[in-house]
Amino acid sequence: MELHKILIIGASSGIGAALAVAMARPGRTLGLVARRRSELDGVAAQVGEKGGKAVVHTCDASDDAAVAACWQAIVAEMGGCDALVYSSGVMPEVGPREFDIAKDRHIIEVNVIGAMAWLNLGAAHMAGQGKGVLCGIGSVAGDRGRRQAPAYGASKAALHTYLESLRNRLSVLGVDVVTIKPGPVQTPMLGARKLPLTVSAEVAGRRIAQAIERGEHTVYVHPGYRLIMGMIRCIPSLLFRRLAI
């Protein structure tokens, strides 16, 4: 399906910003949402350089009422919505002996509740028009309960399952639901960490744009991670808990 109006939540930085630039072209309107206005304006300028139109709104994804108001306003200004992408996410450092409910709650509020708040609105809209694409940026971290970041990994596992359920509900209505599972991507979230098979935000943005345009189901941004995570999922729990991965 032709996608003319694409809304990206978490478009101020990293993967969301790179995706906006990758999808920009003449005749397309990109809705750009996050909290930081100046960063969004910078991305809007890059969209404009590629001949696209950008509509910018600020919104905190953890505020349900603000999300509902922002959705109404930005879809009206865009003149509709053919695709909605939820890329917002947080991954604060968690120490090996740290068990902090405030930090964990914040991760769940942005990565899961915020995603549901936006994707529910998108789902109702797409179901009503009988076409469209919903996309969520998950993570390979959601494929197994690794020791480093319990709440972050759990948030991505929840998002993957939620997206799968949405796909099963909406595919009969003509709506595609795309789950993206990036491995490491060079963005402010990754910071200075050096991890194998890291891709640039631009490469990730282009691959995610392709997945959305094709209506693919579950996409590992670096294809090597499909194999790696397939093997990691097979490691027995008794052995997995002894591995520092």
Q: Which of 3, 4, 39, 144 binds ligand NAP (CB under 6 A)?
A: 39
SS3 percent helix, strand, coil of the chain, rounded to 5, is: 50, 15, 35
Contact 58, 64 (CB under 8 A): no
Residues 2-31 that bind ligand NAP (CB under 6 A): 10, 12-16
The verdict on 144 binding ligand NAP (CB under 6 A) reads no
Rounded Cα–Cα distance for residues 20 and 206 (Å)? 9
- Residues within window 94-133 making contact with ligand NAP, judged by CB under 6 A: 110, 114
- The residue assigned the tokens 């909605």 is 84
Which of 122, 88, 113 shows the shortest CA–CA distance to 19? 88
Q: Please report how close the Cβ of residue 63 comes to ligand NAP at its closest, in angstroms.
A: 8
Can residue 187 be called a binding residue for ligand NAP (CB under 6 A)? yes
Measured from the CB atom, the residue of 179 and 187 that comes closer to ligand NAP is 187
179 near ligand NAP, rule: CB under 6 A: no
Nearest in space to 139 (alpha carbons), one of 85, 105, 180: 180
Kindly list the residues in this chain that would bind ligand NAP in the complex (CB under 6 A).
Answer: 10, 12-16, 34-36, 39, 60-62, 87-91, 110, 114, 137, 139, 182, 184-185, 187-190
